[in-house]
């Protein structure tokens, strides 16, 4: 053992001990040497006594010096070292004790200075990190808000085409029986070839700025979406990694395409239906007007043919025009806006120009281009500002609405009106006139005289509907987990770390406890856990029509009555959707054999097998807390400090969320026991399967 590894105090002690030993050896050697020289045996005892006394004196004085040295130098150095070490590794503040290093000169003050400096630096660093963290959090929130609001669907996918991010618009666009979910493949929602092809194409360009435009269709309803794909680059120099993820922005163009196709169709039909009678008429007229034309019955036949063709031509023009009129507003995508909002905007505009107007809007939603309509009405009101008590009234008018500006005084001459309509409107575009606005709304504007010395301008809108209460805001949240982008996929469940797996935690409510006696599922609820996080917006919660009466005793437990499930889909439908929801995930339930039994009995009806690996929180609780504890959901959640709100207890979704949260709290405990992978857990769980059956066996 090398000396350097011994503690300072022992080394000092050994040093003094060696010194003492050396001195004593020197005394003994000196005395021996003197005794030999003298050759007088009578001196031996005196020399031994002298030597012993000298040795003890040396031992005593060295022990004294050692003690003082140990007390005032070695010990303080060790304590000072301890002091420095604790302050290096933790954030303890405080002075060094005054007496600690009195004899070490400037060492203690220097150490003190060093630690205070260290603490100050550490504090500054913590503050900087906090500042930066909160700045990043703010930025993240702003980005989330932005991505919520952009009017296109945004998807972020991994190189394996798994969703790592999506916004609310994307949910609407992809719309299918099951909402998009993190870690699902984008091809569950969109047709694969165009996307896969665009991805390959972009990879080949090796250009991080390249984008690829493509058309793709949804699997659910064949909606055509225009999409733009861009690869995700990394770092400040924005280089591409070997297998980059990508962003897809989506826009629904099926309406545009449908309108375009409709229009083309109408044009084709128009020419077709006009050309034929026009040609016939030309020939027939030629025959009739010829100098040597037919006479008598021969002429009557030609005339009849001519008048038939003329009638058909006129009829074709009228019907085609009518269809054109009907489609016209569709080709111009107009939004629904609130009549009161329109009125307010007009008032603001009129007042800004120094005028006055009162408004009386009916509670209607109007199909119109709000900005242009306000500009037109503002312009008209401005031209009418000489008139007394100007009023804007918006009222129901058949299937549409009537926008009317009225005042006390005479009618506006049409000639003036025509002139006003030809003036450009203040909308920032030169060629937008009042007439253009009327045309795009397929509308007209005219003056009318009212009974009591008042007059008005009428502008009818073709489409309006009664205002309903504002719909509850659709949660437009963005959902994401960027860690998915950096995760390689492994096929085998058993080897995968627990936190890498996707879990679907679920619970069922039933008509009773005995599936063998004909009890059925009445509700399924499930949530997803991705990357160790419960994804709040990915929830499955559906009533199921059990096709039989629900006993009152069961209704008393879960509160689901016959009336509530009459309109609900049956287990075949719900089961299929649940199977899709749970695809690729580990199923988790509290007392899973119960729920799985109900599901597996229906596999044939559903047409799918539930082959997912299954974990049971009862067994996990036994692994973590030992078999002697109670493993009911109430006991488990209580032990883990999770509260189930009373109103949620025994609802499928309430119990599901509680089970999911319990599982998330059990995860670290499992890892602490050295159970890192799914396989480890299953092996451990089997030891407890006397408690209940393990379903992976």
Residues in contact with another protein by the rule CB under 8 A: 310-311, 313-314, 317-318, 321, 325, 411, 413-415, 418, 442-449, 458, 460
| Between 148 and 458, CB nearer to another protein | 458
The answer to whether residues 69 and 12 touch, using CB atoms and an 8 Å cutoff, is yes
CB of residue 448 vs another protein: minimum separation in angstroms? Answer: 5
Question: Kindly report the CA angle at 399 between 393 and 401, in degrees rounded to 5?
Answer: 15
> What residue has token string 């509530």?
564
**How far from 512 is each of 292, 297, 442, 631, CA to CA, in Å?**
97, 90, 61, 21
Q: What residues have CB less than 8 Å from 360, skipping those under 6 apart?
A: 343, 391, 392, 393, 394
CB of residue 307 vs another protein: minimum separation in angstroms? Answer: 8
Lookup: tokens for 476: 């437009």
CB of residue 306 vs another protein: minimum separation in angstroms? Answer: 13
| Between 317 and 692, CB nearer to another protein | 317
Q: What 3 state SS string does 13-26 have? A: HHHHHHHHHHHHHH
Closest CA to 464 of 381, 371, 322, 362: 362
Closest CA to 575 of 550, 601, 536, 539: 601
DSSP, res 615: E
| Between 328 and 338, CB nearer to another protein | 328
Distance CA 332, CA 432 (A): 15
Count the neighbouring beta carbons within 10 Å of the beta carbon of residue 661. Answer: 20
CB of residue 253 vs another protein: minimum separation in angstroms? Answer: 29
CB of residue 394 vs another protein: minimum separation in angstroms? Answer: 17
Cα-Cα-Cα-Cα dihedral sign, residues 525, 528, 533, 537 = negative
Closest CA to 601 of 682, 488, 521, 694: 521
> What residue has token string 């100007």?
390
| Between 155 and 334, CB nearer to another protein | 334
Look at strands 614-616 and 586-589 and give their pairing: parallel
CB of residue 325 vs another protein: minimum separation in angstroms? Answer: 5
| Between 404 and 478, CB nearer to another protein | 404
CB of residue 415 vs another protein: minimum separation in angstroms? Answer: 5
Lookup: tokens for 556: 């008393």
Q: What is the DSSP string of 69-101?
A: HIIIIIHHHHHHHHHHHHHHHS----PPPGGGG
Lookup: tokens for 176: 């299918």
| Between 423 and 448, CB nearer to another protein | 448
CB of residue 224 vs another protein: minimum separation in angstroms? Answer: 31
CB of residue 544 vs another protein: minimum separation in angstroms? Answer: 50
> What residue has token string 């169709």?
265
């Amino acid at each position: 053992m090398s000396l350097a590894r011994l503690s300072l105090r022992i080394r000092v002690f050994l040093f003094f001990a060696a010194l003492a030993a050396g001195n004593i050896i020197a005394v003994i050697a000196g005395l021996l040497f003197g005794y030999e020289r003298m050759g007088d045996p009578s001196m031996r005892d005196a020399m031994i006594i002298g030597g012993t006394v000298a040795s003890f004196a040396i031992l005593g004085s060295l022990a004294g010096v050692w003690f003082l040295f140990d007390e005032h130098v070695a010990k303080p150095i060790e304590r000072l070292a301890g002091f420095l070490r604790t302050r290096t590794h933790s954030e303890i503040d405080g002075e060094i004790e005054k007496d600690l290093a009195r004899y070490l000169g400037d060492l203690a003050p220097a150490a003190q200075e060093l630690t205070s400096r260290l603490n100050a630096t550490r504090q500054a660093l913590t503050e900087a990190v906090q500042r930066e963290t909160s700045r990043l959090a703010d930025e993240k929130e702003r980005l989330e808000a932005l991505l919520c609001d952009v009017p296109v669907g945004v998807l972020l996918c991994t190189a394996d085409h798994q969703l790592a991010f999506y916004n609310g618009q994307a949910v609407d666009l992809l719309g299918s029986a099951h909402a998009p979910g993190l870690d699902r493949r984008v091809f569950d929602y969109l047709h694969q070839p165009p996307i896969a092809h665009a991805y390959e194409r972009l990879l080949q360009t090796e250009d991080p700025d390249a984008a690829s435009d493509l058309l793709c269709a949804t699997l659910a309803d064949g909606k055509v979406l225009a999409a733009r794909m861009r690869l995700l680059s990394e770092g400040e120099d924005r280089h591409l990694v070997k297998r980059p993820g990508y962003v897809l922005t989506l826009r629904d163009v099926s309406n545009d395409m449908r309108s375009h196709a409709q229009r083309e169709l109408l044009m084709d039909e128009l020419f077709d239906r006009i050309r034929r009678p026009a040609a016939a008429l030309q020939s027939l007229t030629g025959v009739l007007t010829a100098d040597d034309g037919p006479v008598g019955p021969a002429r009557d036949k030609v005339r009849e043919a001519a008048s038939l063709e003329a009638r058909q031509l006129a009829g074709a023009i009228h019907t085609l025009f009518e269809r054109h009129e009907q489609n016209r507003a569709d080709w111009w995508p107009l939004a629904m806006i609130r009549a009161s909002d329109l009125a307010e905007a007009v008032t603001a505009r009129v007042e800004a120009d120094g005028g006055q107007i009162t408004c009386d809007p009916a509670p209607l939603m109007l199909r119109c281009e709000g900005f242009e309509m306000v500009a037109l009405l503002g312009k008209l009101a401005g031209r009418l500002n000489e008139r007394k008590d100007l009023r804007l009234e918006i009222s129901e008018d058949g299937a549409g609405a009537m926008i009317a500006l009225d005042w006390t005084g005479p009618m506006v001459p049409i000639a003036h009106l025509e002139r006003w309509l030809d003036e450009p409107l203040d909308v920032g575009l030169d060629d937008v006139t009042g007439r253009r606005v009327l045309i795009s709304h397929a509308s007209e504007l005219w003056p009318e005289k009212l009974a009591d010395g008042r007059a008005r301008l009428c502008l009818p809108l073709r489409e309006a509907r009664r205002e309903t209460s504002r719909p509850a805001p659709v949660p437009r949240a963005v959902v994401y987990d960027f860690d998915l982008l950096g995760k390689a996929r492994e096929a085998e469940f058993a080897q995968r770390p627990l936190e890498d797996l996707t879990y679907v935690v679920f619970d069922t409510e039933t008509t009773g406890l005995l599936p063998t006696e004909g009890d059925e599922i009445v509700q399924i609820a499930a949530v997803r856990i991705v990357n160790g996080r419960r994804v709040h917006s990915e929830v499955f919660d559906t009533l199921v029509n059990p096709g039989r009466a629900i006993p009152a005793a069961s209704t008393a437990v879960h509160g689901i009555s016959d009336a509530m499930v009459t309109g609900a889909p049956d287990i075949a439908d719900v089961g299929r959707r649940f199977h899709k929801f749970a695809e690729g995930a580990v199923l988790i339930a509290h007392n899973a054999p119960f729920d799985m039994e109900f599901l597996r009995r229906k596999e044939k009806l559903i047409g799918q097998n539930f082959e997912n690996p299954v974990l049971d929180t009862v067994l996990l609780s036994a692994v973590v807390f030992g078999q002697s504890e109670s493993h009911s959901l109430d006991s488990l959640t209580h032990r883990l400090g999770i509260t189930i709100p009373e109103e949620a207890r025994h609802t499928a979704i309430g119990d599901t969320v509680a089970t999911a949260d319990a599982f998330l709290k059990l995860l670290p405990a499992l890892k602490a026991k050295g159970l890192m992978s799914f396989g480890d857990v299953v092996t451990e769980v089997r030891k407890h399967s006397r408690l209940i059956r393990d379903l992976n066996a």
